[in-house]
Amino acid sequence: MESLLSDARRDFGMIPPDLKEQVVLEHAPLIRYIVNRLAVRLPSHIDLDDLHSTGVIGLMDAIDKFDPSKNCKFKTYAEFRIKGAILDQLRSLDWVPRSVRQKGRKLEQAYSEVEQRLGRSANEDEVADSLGLELEKFHVLINQVRGISLVNLEEIRGTNADGDTAGTFSDIIEDVHSENPFESLKLMETKHVISDTIGSLPEKERLVISLYYYEDLNMKEIGNILGITESRVCQIHTKATARLGTKLKSLVDR
């Protein structure tokens, strides 16, 4: 695919419509896969066909902007463009009420404060106590905010002194042979933070993260493996991503 796009841009100065159509058809399963992965965290009224159309637009944008000289696989670049387009569309729909987003931030802050005070990962009893909630009501809160655990990788790059976005995530993946020491150090530090945070999670949260993101299982399948309900898996996933989100934000803010 990389060579086809490179040859077309060299010979025609652009990507011909018939080649664009070919690329879109070949990557249609990738768009469906991304939409279906996101769909499990979305309310039922979100139109998945609209998200699929937005994914196609993201793919078309990737075709136009892909630079083969950066030595990056087109599928990798396209995946980030597709996800970015879909997440932008979801944010524009404002499908999560402001009150729910506030509860999500409150939950992340609670985890951060308790873990900083204790110097270790906090369990749900400790976080519930810090929020002044009974455990049952804490679980209700977890269920309310579980749908907002969508993270756009473009946003964890932070901002510069002028408040503008400091580059994009594709800056990291575009050139696999780049030796920029500052970017390498930042990427290494980010990987260590993610790895250490996952390693410090309670066993069940660590298992859910591993099965969901590495083994590519859905919530129902994970519940069957662990012998718990799908709803309970969602709760565990939300708590784990809240911890990870707090750690990543603290890294960006430094």
Domain limits of the chain? 2-93, 98-148+179-253
Q: Count how many residues are written for the chain.
A: 254
Phi and psi of 3, rounded to 5°?
-70, -35
Q: What is the CATH number of domain 98-148+179-253?
A: 1.10.10.10
Angle at alpha carbon of residue 34, lines to 29 and 37, rounded to 5°: 120
Helix (H) or strand (E) holding 22: helix 17-26
Output the CATH code of domain 2-93. 1.10.1740.10
Task: Read off the amino acid at residue 185.
Answer: L
pLDDT reported for residue 203: 86
Q: CA-to-CA distance for 20 and 66, rounded, in angstroms?
A: 12
Residue 246: count of CB within 10 angstroms of its CB: 20
Each of the 254 residues of the chain gets a pLDDT tens digit; together they read 667 777 777 776 777 788 888 888 888 898 998 888 888 777 666 788 888 999 999 999 888 888 777 777 888 888 888 988 888 887 766 555 667 777 878 888 888 888 888 888 888 888 888 888 888 888 888 877 765 554 444 444 444 444 454 454 454 444 545 556 666 677 777 777 777 778 888 888 888 888 888 777 888 889 888 889 988 888 888 888 887 777 767 655 55
State the Cα–Cα distance between residues 165 and 174, nearest whole angstrom: 18
Q: Quick one: pLDDT at residue 2? A: 67
Task: Check if the beta carbon of residue 58 is closer than 8 Å to that of residue 81.
Answer: yes
Please compute, for residue 125, the number of CA atoms within 13 A of its CA located in the half-sphere on the CB side.
Answer: 1
SS3 159: strand
Domains 2-93 and 98-148+179-253 share a fold: no
Residue 151 near residue 46, CB atoms below 8 Å: no
Residue 110 confidence (pLDDT) = 86
**5: Cβ–Cβ under 8 A, 6 or more apart, which residues?**
15, 19, 23, 63, 66, 68, 74
For residues 218 and 212, give the distance between their C-alpha atoms in angstroms, rounded to a whole number.
6
Q: Which two tokens stand for residue 246?
A: 């707090």
